[in-house]
Amino acid sequence: MQPPSPAPVLVTGASSGIGAAIAREYARRGVPLVLTARRGERLRALAAELAPRVACEVLVADLARPGAAAHVHAALGERGIRVGGLVNNAGYGVPGDYLTPSWARHADFLQVMVTATCELTWRLLPDIRAGGQGRILNVASFAALVPGAAGQTLYAGAKSFLVRFSESLALENRRHGVRVCALCPGFTRSEFHDVTGTRALVSQLPRWMWLDADAVARAGVDGVERGRTVVVPGLPYKALRAAIRLLPEAVLHTAMARGSRRIRDAG
């Protein structure tokens, strides 16, 4: 008798970068997928790529819109899909001084990074619990684990929230068989910095600070499957995290201020 097929995993922000890499990693493991993002053409291309391995559904949605999470949930119901896992990956950065962008741009950012993540998790959690082996992977950032840098006023805060949210959610849902993990990668090769317009600045960083998106995805999926609550991919970042825990807060803030200034001056 063959084991039952795994329930689908929904991946937000699946059209590129870490989101697409996580979708490919799940497909490699034979897990069906629901892919969602704003860019329908890219989603359909990825679904076609993965279709020989697993069933893929595409849901085009812009999570910056307040009703998007409810729309995604309703669309799953209409298609008769009950997900067993969720990857909250959709996100981006708003570069520059806090007062430079309009509040409308900040509000869209918070809607995608915090509100939509929480609402989508809340709406899908009953189905994820029902299977008894649910998984939730929240893509945070190494920025959540260090003092905030200039130009990351909301980004670091939102990612820090994701880590704490994941930790609490993991404790609350352990008895339901649901594993929750915050993935905290450092600088990762993807389109992220092209979209935010910071490619020239981050290109000044040494090569050892850059991670491969496929390796990050593998670390995240492995981590949530093993019941890890926080995963930091890459030996250099693991070492940095250990060092940060030992350094006085004043030293860390001084180092972050100097590092931010050096990157800005290099640009």
Active site residue 155: yes
Element (H, E) at 240: helix 235-246
Backbone angles phi, psi at 224, to 5 degrees: -70, -35
| 3-state DSSP assignment of residue 184 | coil
Catalytic residue among 92, 98, 155, 237: 155
Q: Which two tokens stand for residue 53?
A: 């391995």
State the Cα–Cα distance between residues 65 and 119, nearest whole angstrom: 12
Q: Which of 174, 237, 181 has its CA nearest to residue 209?
A: 237
State the Cα–Cα distance between residues 115 and 106, nearest whole angstrom: 12
State the Cα–Cα distance between residues 37 and 44, nearest whole angstrom: 10
* Overall residue count recorded for the chain in this entry: 267
Q: Which sequence positions are flagged as catalytic? A: 155
